[in-house]
Structure 1
Amino acid sequence: MNILVLKMGGSILAKLPTSFYQTIVALKQQKICEPIIVHGGGPEINETLKELHVESKFVDGLRVTTNEVLDVAEMVMSGSINKKIVANIQKQGGTAIGMSGVDGKTLQAIPIDNASTLGYVGQVKKVNVSWIEQIMEHGAIPVISPIGIDGSGERLNINGDMAAAAVAKALKAKLALISDIPGVMENVSGKEFVHEQLTKEEIEEKIASGVIYGGMIPKVRSALNGLSGGIKESVILNGLAPEDIKDYIQGKQAGTKVVMKKEEKQHV
């Protein structure tokens, strides 16, 4: 089965055009691939926490998740955002089933190492793929929010990129990080171009030299996190030009592939 896990962060969701959802539905209906969406929701969670006067702080870029913060994160991601994505897919003639990692124990999690500091934050120990596969087999697109559950029934907030990587690994799928730019770009002699492929080593060098900067740093770090999650390849694709997604899944050049090591060119 040709499966593509699409990770959509909260900041890109508001920008995605109708054509993005049309493309996802077409991929499914034309049997080009089986799309699965894993989404985040950071900006909307921040906004809701502020409205509800719930204090929230970050340590090393990760949200400290108290029980109160977890309730809000679950409400926003598994409720509001998840159902908006499901509705957008169905407006374009597709069928989608929204779920969180809690449903059917789909994302079985354990607390992360520094849980004493970060609170109810987890990492995926196992993905129960049977529910995801059943949704796909019944003609629907799974839409998953990254709230997991541990062995005692405790909910845990999971980083969206790591949740997407875990799902991709469990299903032997490709992982696409949906962005609002064509890929990792570099300016050489006044001309901008998109890197077709970057290794972990090249990315670290380009961050150190300032070629990769600002908002692109978390994107490439997310792609690398996917690789450390055990998948062979991540790709950064432009959700605002959804034909790139179709091109990528059909083997054409699109976006920036992120790999651990350079692929050897195969001569056919």
Structure 2
Amino acid sequence: MQQRFVMKCGGSTLAALPERFFVELRELQTNGHYPVIVHGGGPAISELLDVLGIESEFVNGLRKTSESVLDVVEMVLSGKINKEIVRKIEQSGAHALGISGIDGQLLLSQPVANADQVGFVGEVVAVKAKIIEGIINMGYMPVIAPLGIDEAGQRYNINADTAAGAVASFLDVEQMIVVTDVPGVMKQVDGEMVTLPQVTVAEIEAMIASGEIYGGMIPKVRAAIACIQGKVQKVVIVSGKEEGVLTKAVVAGGVGTTIVR
């Protein structure tokens, strides 16, 4: 039985990860733990939109996506970031195959409920898991850019966190790993910041309301919570810069913060 795991990582986080991280991915695959990577790329998308003079705004955390914004999203995610990740994995000695959710209708999608406000933003209704399984069976790591498509051929911009959660759920994966630039959910205890080993979704919401979780940590934990959907029972937030962090998260446990339903 294959030991598959889904890893979600932001595009900017991936770009800053050390070479050792990708070597560890290769070692996990060699030892029978098969990574499926879903990546984001928000900052790089914003950067190119600015260069091209295309206006873009966020509505309740979702990028308002017109046809011209969608073109840029596809260029950056499928073209630039996806291939950067594939190159880094290949340089580690492993093999990767980069695709987007559009390829083979991998991420079959429909418009989000507030599409009248956000444009071509979608939610995933089905994942063609057999495509991912086929890539794994050929010995490659799937690297997935979060774009979706519907039966009529309309493309959609998909939030990377919800895309990762959908992929994990349709692959029957109960645990997801979110790689970020922090060691987990931090809380001040007796004057010093400590990493919480485990926390529930309800406890996180309470900590946001009380101000214990604040600033840049809020979108990180909300992103992790967005991954808990379908069959996914827990999400582990880890820092990609910590030595051996993936092996600890996948094999041994006891690293980062585990968020449970």
**Structure 1 and Structure 2 fold alike (TM over 0.5):** yes
Is the 8 Å Cα contact of residues 169 and 229 (structure 2) preserved in structure 1?
no
Question: What count of residue pairs does the alignment treat as equivalent?
Answer: 259
Is the 8 Å Cα contact of residues 245 and 254 (structure 1) preserved in structure 2?
no
> Which segment drifts farther, 41-50 or 220-229?
220-229
Shift of 1:242: 4.6
Which residue number in structure 2 is paired with residue 263 of structure 1?
Answer: none
> Which segment drifts farther, 203-212 or 68-77?
203-212
- d(CA) in 2 for partners of 1:207 and 1:242? 29
Matching residue's letter, 2:98: G
- d(CA) in 2 for partners of 1:77 and 1:96? 16
Is the 8 Å Cα contact of residues 37 and 144 (structure 2) preserved in structure 1?
yes
Which residue number in structure 2 is paired with residue 20 of structure 1?
Answer: 21
Which residue number in structure 1 is paired with residue 59 of structure 2?
Answer: 59
Is the 8 Å Cα contact of residues 5 and 176 (structure 2) preserved in structure 1?
yes
- d(CA) in 2 for partners of 1:215 and 1:2? 33
- d(CA) in 1 for partners of 2:4 and 2:120? 30
Matching residue's letter, 1:258: I
The answer to whether the aligner puts 1:196 opposite 2:193 as a matched pair is no
Which residue number in structure 2 is paired with residue 246 of structure 1?
Answer: 247
Is the 8 Å Cα contact of residues 28 and 35 (structure 1) preserved in structure 2?
yes
- d(CA) in 2 for partners of 1:66 and 1:11? 23
Which residue number in structure 2 is paired with residue 43 of structure 1?
Answer: 43
Partner SS for 1:240: coil
- d(CA) in 2 for partners of 1:177 and 1:247? 13
Which residue number in structure 2 is paired with residue 220 of structure 1?
Answer: 221
Which residue number in structure 2 is paired with residue 150 of structure 1?
Answer: 150
Is the 8 Å Cα contact of residues 23 and 242 (structure 1) preserved in structure 2?
no
Tell me the TM-score normalised to structure 1 length: 0.94
Shift of 1:229: 4.4
Is the 8 Å Cα contact of residues 7 and 39 (structure 1) preserved in structure 2?
yes
- d(CA) in 2 for partners of 1:138 and 1:168? 19
Matching residue's letter, 2:75: M
Structure 1 residues 9-57: Cα deviation after superposition (integer angstroms, max 9, x where no partner): 12312221111111111111122x1101100100000010111111111
Is the 8 Å Cα contact of residues 89 and 96 (structure 1) preserved in structure 2?
yes
Gaps of 5+ in 1: 261-268
Structure 1 residues 215-234: Cα deviation after superposition (integer angstroms, max 9, x where no partner): 11111111211113441111
Shift of 1:61: 1.8
Which residue number in structure 2 is paired with residue 79 of structure 1?
Answer: 79
- d(CA) in 2 for partners of 1:186 and 1:198? 11
4+ long deviations beyond 3 Å: none
- Relative to structure 1, the CA distance from residue 256 to residue 86 in structure 2 (aligned partners, 3 Å threshold; closer, same or farther) is same
Matching residue's letter, 1:152: A
Shift of 1:2: 1.6
Is the 8 Å Cα contact of residues 166 and 229 (structure 2) preserved in structure 1?
no
Gaps of 5+ in 2: none
Is the 8 Å Cα contact of residues 86 and 143 (structure 1) preserved in structure 2?
yes
Partner SS for 2:253: coil
Is the 8 Å Cα contact of residues 185 and 195 (structure 2) preserved in structure 1?
yes
Matching residue's letter, 1:180: D
Which residue number in structure 2 is paired with residue 211 of structure 1?
Answer: 212
- Within 5 Å, give how 1:28-39 maps onto structure 2: 28-31=29-32, 33-39=33-39
Partner SS for 1:228: coil
Structure 1 residues 148-193: Cα deviation after superposition (integer angstroms, max 9, x where no partner): 1001011111000000000000111221111111111112112322
Structure 1 residues 193-239: Cα deviation after superposition (integer angstroms, max 9, x where no partner): 21110001111111111111111111111121111344111110111
Which residue number in structure 1 is paired with residue 70 of structure 2?
Answer: 70
